A and B are shown apart, each in its own frame.
Chain A
Amino acid sequence: MESPVLKTENFCAYFGDNQILKNISLEITRNKLTAMMGPSGCGKTTLVRCINRMHELIPNARVSGRMLLQNEDIYALNPILARRKIGMVFQRPNPFPTMNIYDNVIAGYKLNGIKIAAAELDRIVEESLRKAALWNEVKDSLYKKGTFLSGGQQQRLCIARALAMKPEIMLLDEPTSALDPKSTAHIEELMIELKQAVTIILVTHNIAQAARTSDFTAFIYLGDLIEFGPTQKLFTVPEDKRTEEYLSGKFG
């Protein structure tokens, strides 16, 4: 069996005295879509933010345990380098308001001062926008501000921006929670296509979305990883009673 892209071992996270995540151990398979599912406040967003170390923006956050990206400890890397290998898309679309669409896509290169030939940049922009299924809609307005796009288009622009850095893993933190049903369907289709190229971790509190899109599902509740397995199995024959109750809408 192929080695997992991402592996956590006894991973715990704390904000001050509050333990948010308790001994999470899981393995993320390459080119699959893994959904993190659970009620609000269960720690699923914290878990993905720990993967690219965004939790470090919060002053009294700390973690213990191990988090390995292709057998390399993320916490031994410089966070700046770790984040270049791990793309992230947020709940609300957040394109850079001062940049046009083109610059938004290559923002990772521009802001980091990575020098690349113009032709290569053009290629990256087109390729990323095509992968994010946005190319046909914006190819004639690449030099317009990204904030003039619709919410769904903005979110796909953010996906293109993350893809342009050619990450090992993409973290999608409830990417459709601020979008209308049509844009949501569009992004879900896109995620399923994208996993050919990149491993995806999707945070969602929408059970149906996890069922529709993911290959593996992790159910997190109050900081514990209750159950983790192939989506098909977890949704049809859950091992844990709490998973079954959550799926049948008894709580959450």
Chain B
Amino acid sequence: MQQDGFRFRLYKDHLFKIAVILFSFSSVLPLLFILFHIFKNGISVINWQFLTNLPKPVGDTGGGISNAIVGTGMLLSVSCVLAIPLGICAGIYLSEHKEGRLSYLVRLSVEILQGIPSIVIGIIAYVWIVMPLRTFSAVSGGIALAIMMLPVIVRSAEETLKLIPDSLKEASLSLGVPYYKTILKVVLPAGLSGVVSGIILSIARVAGETAPLLFTAFGNPFMNLNLLKPVNSLPLLVFNYAASPYPEWHSLAWGASLVLGVFVLLLNAFSKVMIRKWKVRF
């Protein structure tokens, strides 16, 4: 009797181990399926023309997504210019002031901002920027994306800089180095890998955002380099073309999905490599 109970427990033990392995493996499956699918459907349209040409009118075969690639580049540049300095400064403040009313407030708002649906951020950018300027524009889209990047950058900067030992700051201050130079030249460089990887991950996060761009960057079938005019972006192009009734456009959408997917994958991989390479040993 006792022997049987023991065996049953061993059996449960094994069952649990197998379940853990199976379930953890199953969390890899969605990514594999998605990658498989966009590769299968997208790889056939990818060629040099696809990356460098403009979309063709309905009925013509071929055509490319160069306007969307350039547009995504413009949107991300605008959002980086806005979000990176702001985010790093807020992160420095939070890491330097662990307590206090302002840091509590900043931390709370950053957390809430992270939870705000992206479509709402798009509408806000529409009301704030598109309406007063009376035009859809790359700038408004970039601002919407910057608002989405901000929480990621702030949190990663804060977490990284908090881990920099105080002894380093003391060493610098004791040499008579002013506080701002200590932060900018000693503390920030020591935490650079973490801060930069946070920035890269935030770019990867917003690169595929569609909702905030619907009322801001709007989309544009032509090449546009003017920041104050509507631009196309990869996710917008996928959204518009995938919903169209034309098979040629569907394959363009698959191709654009692949480009976007590979871009985000590369960003993630790059941030991983960089964290290891730039890791500062104390």
Interface residues, chain A, with chain B CB atoms under 8 Å away: 52, 54, 57, 80-84, 86-88, 90, 92, 94-98, 107-108, 111-113, 145, 147, 158, 161-162, 165
Contacts and interface: CB of A to CB of B under 8 A. Distances in A.
A134 B202 CA distance: 45
Interface stretch (B71-79, B164-172, B217-225): B164-172
B173 interface: yes
Interface residues of B, number: 23
B176 A108 contact: yes
Nearest to B179: A80
Choose among A90, A111, A147 the residue with the greatest number of B CB atoms under 10 Å from its CB. Answer: A111
The 10 tightest CB contacts between A and B, nearest first, are A84-B176, A83-B176, A108-B175, A88-B174, A94-B167, A111-B177, A98-B189, A94-B171, A97-B280, A147-B281
A54 B173 contact: yes
B282 A90 contact: no
B5 interface: no
Choose among A92, A97, A113, A145 the residue with the greatest number of B CB atoms under 10 Å from its CB. Answer: A97
Interface stretch (B128-136, B180-188, B264-272): B180-188
A52 B280 contact: no
Nearest to B164: A97
B186 A112 contact: no
A112 B170 contact: no
B178 interface: yes
Given A97-B281, A113-B181, 15 more contacts: A54-B173, A54-B174, A57-B169, A80-B176, A82-B176, A83-B173, A94-B165, A94-B168, A96-B186, A97-B282, A98-B186, A98-B190, A111-B177, A111-B181, A147-B282
Choose among B171, B280, B281 the residue with the greatest number of A CB atoms under 10 Å from its CB. Answer: B171
B196 to A, nearest CB: 13
Contact of B182 (A87, A94, A111, A161): A111
Interface in B59-114: none
A2 to B, nearest CB: 26
A5 B278 CA distance: 44
Choose among B173, B174, B176 the residue with the greatest number of A CB atoms under 10 Å from its CB. Answer: B174
Nearest to B188: A98
B175 A98 contact: no
Nearest to A171: B174
